[in-house]
């Protein structure tokens, strides 16, 4: 009996405490330089722990990058940013402890809707993107402990880095490749940081960029949410780069039906090739999104939960949004979502 008991509890007793007060539960994801774990703090609170991959422990450049991310996280505090709780070292390995956002990424939500044969409601899309724009404006205006501007640029805005909690609120995370004046690690000239399919022409050309590069990337995210197709992504990185640098992007009116002109104007402005033609800052973008979105957003807590329940009831498997070159049909934009009625389909011939 004792031997059986020991075998049963062995997996539990082998779960060591991490950094003295966190018990690792399961791996949430792995990136190029780090992995993220769901963990439980000694007071029972769920958190996310980000740490460098073990085989990169001795990479000085990666360690500097990780240290920069931890430093930036300690200087940022906004309701729509994933909050950093603490950072430190276990031996020689740095780690960052973050709030755990229990929900879907924006990409998962979009793919869930697309796989179910429907679209996300306009008001929800506008509100989520407005929340991220407000978080970005805070980050862009952030200063160091002495009040000196950080001149921060996130450089990796994408649906993967936008998390939606159970109440339908957006949280922007992952400042791992962010550029700031206080960074110890300097990006080499000509190198690209971030996801190519969300870069503007200046970032994709490895030119010096400012906060308006993040605005362009966020506008790409909004375009894809409403059009249910990728905007810049193509079959190869080279073709994607070609679309960014040399192809005239389609207006969202060419691929959607029923989108208000006020929304079209916002997207066109934020997607301008010339940064001087974009919004002066993400705060202005957020203001316009809020002004337009208040007429359409019926997705508060209970209706967001109803939307998720409806998507689940359609029993469709999540599907990646298709490349723009492979889609011929247009998308009917859904104006709002009644709490008890999510029966509209969004696709038209």
The 10s digit of each residue's pLDDT in 121-149 is: 899 999 999 999 999 999 999 999 899 99
Q: What angle do CA 215, 169, 229 make, to 5 degrees?
A: 55
Per the annotation, the verdict on 156 as an active-site residue is: yes
pLDDT value, residue 316: 84
pTM of the model as a whole: 0.89
Of the two residues 339 and 174, the one the predictor is more confident about is 174
Q: How confident is the model at residue 163 (pLDDT cuts 50, 70, 90)?
A: very high
Q: State the helix-helix crossing angle for 261-270 and 282-293, rounded to 10 degrees.
A: 170
CATH code for the part of the protein at 103-348: 1.10.510.10
- For CATH 1.10.510.10, list the domain ranges present in the chain: 103-348
CA distance 155 to 134: 16
Enter the tokens of residue 223: 């375009």
- Choosing from 43, 59, 99, 156, the catalytic residue is 156
Q: How confident is the model at residue 340 (pLDDT cuts 50, 70, 90)?
A: very low
CA distance 195 to 232: 11
pLDDT tens digits along 298-308: 555 458 888 89
Q: Taking 60 as the threshold, does the pLDDT of residue 4 lie above it?
A: no
Segment among 150-154, 193-197, 295-299 with least mean pLDDT: 295-299
Q: Report the percent of the chain where pLDDT is more than 70.
A: 86
CATH of 14-99, one of 1.20.950.20, 3.40.1190.20, 3.30.200.20, 3.40.50.300: 3.30.200.20
Q: How confident is the model at residue 3 (pLDDT cuts 50, 70, 90)?
A: low
CA distance 138 to 141: 5
The mean pLDDT value of the chain amounts to 87
Enter the tokens of residue 24: 């690792």
- For CATH 3.30.200.20, list the domain ranges present in the chain: 14-99
């Amino acid at each position: 009996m004792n031997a059986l008991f020991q075998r049963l509890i062995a997996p539990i007793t082998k779960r060591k405490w991490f950094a003295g007060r966190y018990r690792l539960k399961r791996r949430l994801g792995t990136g190029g330089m780090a992995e993220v774990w769901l963990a439980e703090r000694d007071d029972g609170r769920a958190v996310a722990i980000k740490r460098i991959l073990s085989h990169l422990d001795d990479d000085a450049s990666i360690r500097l990058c990780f240290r920069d991310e931890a430093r930036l996280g300690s200087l940022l505090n906004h309701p729509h940013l994933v909050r950093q709780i603490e950072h430190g070292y276990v031996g020689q390995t740095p780690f960052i402890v973050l709030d755990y956002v229990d929900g879907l990424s924006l990409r998962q939500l979009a793919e869930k809707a697309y796989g179910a044969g429907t679209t996300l409601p306009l008001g929800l899309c506008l509100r989520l993107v407005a929340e991220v724009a407000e978080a970005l404006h805070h980050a862009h205006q952030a200063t160091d402990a002495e009040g000196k501007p950080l001149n921060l640029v996130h450089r990796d805005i994408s649906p993967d880095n936008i998390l939606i909690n159970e109440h339908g609120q957006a949280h922007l995370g992952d400042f791992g490749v962010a550029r700031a004046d206080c960074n110890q690690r300097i990006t080499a000239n000509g190198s690209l940081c971030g996801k190519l399919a969300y870069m503007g022409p200046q970032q994709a050309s490895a030119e010096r960029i400012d906060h308006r590069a993040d605005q362009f990337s966020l506008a790409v995210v909004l375009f894809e949410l409403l059009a249910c197709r990728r905007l810049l992504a193509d079959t190869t990185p080279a073709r994607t780069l070609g679309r960014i640098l040399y192809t005239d992007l389609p207006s969202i009116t060419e691929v959607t039906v029923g989108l208000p002109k006020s929304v079209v104007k916002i997207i066109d402005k934020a997607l301008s090739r010339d940064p001087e033609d974009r919004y002066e800052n993400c705060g202005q973008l957020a203001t316009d999104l809020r002004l337009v979105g208040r007429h359409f957003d019926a997705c508060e807590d209970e209706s967001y939960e109803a939307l998720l329940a409806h998507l689940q009831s359609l029993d469709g498997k999540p599907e990646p949004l298709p490349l723009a070159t492979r889609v011929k049909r247009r998308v009917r934009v859904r104006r709002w979502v009644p709490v008890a009625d999510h029966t509209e389909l969004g696709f038209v011939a």
